[in-house]
A and B are shown apart, each in its own frame.
Chain A
Amino acid sequence: MEENLVEIRNLSVEFKLKRGTIRAVDNVSLDIPKGKVTALVGESGSGKSTLASAILKMVSSPGVISNGSINMNGENILKMKQRALQQYRWSNVSMVFQAAQNSLNPVVKIKEQFIETYLAHKKAPEKEILAKAAQLLEYVRLEPKRVFESYPHELSGGMKQRVMIAFSLLLDPDLVILDEPTTALDVITQDYIFDILLKIHEELAITMLLLSHDISVVAKVADRIGVMYAGKLVEVGDIFEIFTNSKHPYTAGLIKAAPSLLEDLEHTVPIGGSPPDLLNLPSGCAFHPRCQFAKDICKQVTPPMEDVGENHLTACHLHHAVEMGSVN
């Protein structure tokens, strides 16, 4: 058994909106094993980013963490005081945001943002901080000298993304959360950035949590994978296990729906229906309207997470009955 860096238990995050309440994260329990790359996939709005922000206890208003706990190094983050929380953020968990392009202060030079962040946590002479930052920038193959003196807008998207990656390592965190770090970039850059990330992961043994809607990307990077649907974690397991032996029709659907350069084209099958409306979730298993195997029970009872193999959990009533891989 691996050691878990983060243990999330029964976490729920709610957004109280005028038109109703959204449960963006619904009773999710997830372990993030130390030293591994865990990935969360799911379509847009499935709650990935919200879950990640909960790990930093930074759910944006009007969201509230309505239930659950997040333990890291044995401490419940959700109980932390403001001060401790500020210390915890970035030095324990750092994050590369979905729109990393915009996560730098546009009117402050990169250099100063590095310094500022460092000083918010530890005391050190400026020189030392810059030396460390320069080292990290070189790591992501950027010229420190030029980058330091730049304002964010003076860098290209790929460069900014790399700056953010370097930034996320500034305080040697235990966990780096990568929220769709390559969405806005083209394939070559994307590939390149993942190479860098993998290198960092390997050389520094940093635990990573990767959020993505692109299962192909995940396939390359992750060791473990969790699948989210409508705020719920519906399946989690080892990457190879999931790809070869997924027990949830949604996961299976996602894998099959991903067009590939290799697969036989006949194997690629779209998922029918349309994404769920979080304000108006279907009863029972939220996926049932789109699921070709749905039974009556799926419409009535929300399936619980169950062990279906080593380190492999699934929330589907039918996992024993159906062998997803063989269905065409």
Chain B
Amino acid sequence: MSHLLQLNDVSVIFEGKTDGVKHTIPAMVDVNLSFDSGEIVALVGESGCGKTTLGKVLTGLQKPTKGELFYKGKNVWSMNKAEFAEYRSSVQLVQQDSYAALNPAKTIFQSLSAPILQNKIVKGKKAAHEKVCELLRTVELTPPEQFLEKYPHQLSGGQRQRVLMARAISLNPKLIVADEPVSMVDVSLRLSILNLMAKLNKEMGIAFVYITHDLATARYIAKNGRLAVMYLGKIVELGSVRNVLAAPRHPYLQALLTAVPVPDPKVAKGKRELPLKSLEMPSISNPPSGCAFNPRCPYADETCVLVQPKLDFHGDDLVACHHAERIPEWKLVTLAK
């Protein structure tokens, strides 16, 4: 059976310019990834590693430079109109900046009713009103009437993010790409938004791709799902959250996990060294040869400089590292001394 959404050797290479000199930015390189109905996949990585680009490819906003995107087994970029329309409404996006994602000149009702009217989910203003209220209730904005006539700037960040959620589910999608949906939301509210996503996943069967740089929240939302770790445009580790966090293989992921702060002073204050050679993130437009992580990797050797590692099974999970077997085991619990 085909996957809901599948990336097949997808690369996205931007043309960039600095100081007037043209160069290429490989924002995504040979990514293979698939998503099934109802699952939650968390995608983590540092800033600029290509997460948003991947999200854009999934939502059809960015045509891959190379490779294919399949929706239910059909290549999205050679679909006919009807198929494409179905794909379009089935894969939705929730953006990071809830303020920028809403038209400041339109009320919440206007913003929410336009897509359902245009996509003929409902007919007539009245039905639209009903539907919008229902959506708002679903995302726990009650009473809905209170929000309909408000402008985006009149809502709090958390509320706006819920509106985005409501808009995303309005077309009855099968999958929602949520690109850092909570990074701009206040700490005290983040969790409730994540819970909302979990609820939508559970109750409506919507699959989520949760893009973040925060491993802790990724773990929280995708506790039963999968985790993909990106580094400089490539997937370096992929597997179930449980497995991956319990036994991270890739030295980059290990470093990342080491750096994640822990809300417990006893643990946090324990001395840890970052397992890294260098702190500087290489430029994505000029990635290192071989394994992109090699300049920072404490285990790197000549092979790493020369040969690009493939994403391969190590245990149940996929890892892209020449020395995956050799690298010392790293356990979260070792933190807690």
Contacts and interface: CB of A to CB of B under 8 A. Distances in A.
Asked if A and B form a direct contact in the complex, defined as CB atoms under 8 angstroms apart, the reply is yes
Interface of A: 43-44, 156, 158, 186-192, 195, 213-217, 219-220, 222, 239-240, 243, 253-255, 257-263, 265, 268-272, 274-275
A224 B52 CA distance: 38
Contact of B255 (A188, A214, A270): A188
Contact of B267 (A195, A253, A262, A270): A262
B274 interface: yes
Given A187-B259, A257-B187, 15 more contacts: A43-B188, A188-B255, A188-B274, A214-B187, A253-B188, A254-B188, A259-B191, A260-B263, A261-B260, A261-B262, A261-B332, A262-B264, A265-B220, A269-B191, A275-B188
A195 B214 CA distance: 19
B260 A257 contact: no
B268 interface: yes
A222 B47 CA distance: 27
B195 interface: yes
A190 B259 contact: yes
A189 B274 CA distance: 10
Contacts of B223: 265
Nearest to B192: A270
Contacts of A188: 46, 255-256, 259, 274, 276, 279
B314 to A, nearest CB: 21
B188 A191 contact: no
Interface in B197-245: 213-217, 219-220, 223, 245
Given A259-B217, A270-B191, A186 B46 contact: yes
Contacts of B191: 257, 259, 268-271
Interface of B: 46-47, 156, 158-159, 186-192, 194-195, 213-217, 219-220, 223, 245, 255-269, 274, 276, 279-280, 332-333, 335-336
Given A187-B256, A274-B159, A262 B335 contact: yes
B268 to A, nearest CB: 4
A188 B255 CA distance: 8
A215 B267 CA distance: 13
A191 B259 CA distance: 5
A255 B263 contact: yes
A265 B245 CA distance: 13
A44 B255 CA distance: 29
A195 to B, nearest CB: 8
Contacts of A219: 261-265, 267-269
Contact of A213 (B186, B216, B219, B266): B186
Contacts of A257: 187-188, 190-191
Contact of B245 (A192, A215, A243, A261): A261
Contacts of B214: 187
A270 B195 CA distance: 9
Shortest beta-carbon contacts, A-B, top 10? A270-B191, A220-B268, A191-B259, A216-B261, A258-B263, A216-B263, A259-B216, A259-B220, A270-B192, A219-B268
B299 to A, nearest CB: 17
